């Protein structure tokens, strides 16, 4: 069992909301950027297929989801696949770089739902990301947990 760490793991209401989306929209493939201890990836892998990117190699994970070790900025260009839902939860100042790479390498398609965590708790650090998605996507901030930005083309 993975220990729930409220400081670093997705807030539990946010996790329930994402599970709801996965079920409601029959989401088959999820990409998470920032695995940490694997709590969210493990929970989501009970209902869908999860791939997660993590640069820190100190954790061991249960079976059930795929972890790609490495810096997201170098891993994203190698993914070669689109995803139905992408959860961005790594370095806050890099959110803008992640989404531009996800676009450039066509990991996002017109149906992909993109969810970014910490957009209220770390608003200053993600402001350029928020400006970008609000301009280029149908996007809104959901005030649950640490703040989720939900975006879709």
DSSP letters spanning the chain: -PPP-TTTSPPHHHHHHHHHHHHHTT--EEEEE--TTSHHHHHHHTTSEEEEEES-------TTSEEEES-HHHHGGG--S--SEEEE-S-GGGHHHHHHHHHHTT---TT-EEEES-TTTTHHHHHHHHHHHHHHSEEEEE-STT-EEEEE-
Nearer to ligand SAM, 81 or 121 (CB): 121
CB atoms within 10 A of CB 11: 18
Query: Shortest gap between Cβ of 87 and ligand SAM (angstroms)?
Result: 7
Nearer to ligand SAM, 21 or 153 (CB): 21
Nearer to ligand SAM, 58 or 80 (CB): 58
Nearer to ligand SAM, 44 or 130 (CB): 44
Cα 83 to Cα 67: distance, rounded to the nearest angstrom? 15
What is the number of the residue whose Cβ is closest to ligand SAM?
34
Query: Shortest gap between Cβ of 29 and ligand SAM (angstroms)?
Result: 17
Nearer to ligand SAM, 41 or 133 (CB): 41
Query: Shortest gap between Cβ of 152 and ligand SAM (angstroms)?
Result: 20
Query: Shortest gap between Cβ of 135 and ligand SAM (angstroms)?
Result: 24
Query: Shortest gap between Cβ of 47 and ligand SAM (angstroms)?
Result: 15
For ligand SAM, the binding residues (CB under 6 A) are 8-10, 32, 34-36, 39-40, 53-56, 71-73, 89-91, 94
């Amino acid at each position: 069992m993975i220990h729930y760490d409220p400081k670093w793991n997705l807030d539990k209401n946010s996790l329930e909301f994402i599970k709801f989306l996965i079920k409601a929209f029959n989401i088959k493939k999820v990409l998470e950027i920032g695995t940490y201890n694997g709590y969210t990836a493990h929970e989501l892998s009970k209902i869908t297929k999860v791939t997660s990117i993590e640069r820190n190699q100190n954790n061991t994970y249960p079976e059930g989801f795929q972890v790609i070790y490495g810096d997201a900025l170098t891993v994203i260009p190698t993914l070669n696949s689109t995803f139905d839902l992408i959860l961005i939860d790594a370095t806050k100042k890099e959110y803008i770089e992640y989404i531009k790479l996800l676009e450039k390498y066509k990991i996002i398609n017109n149906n992909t739902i993109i969810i970014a965590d910490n957009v209220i708790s770390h608003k200053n650090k993600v402001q350029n990301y928020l400006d970008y998605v609000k301009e280029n996507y149908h996007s809104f901030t959901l005030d649950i947990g640490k703040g989720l930005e939900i975006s879709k083309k």
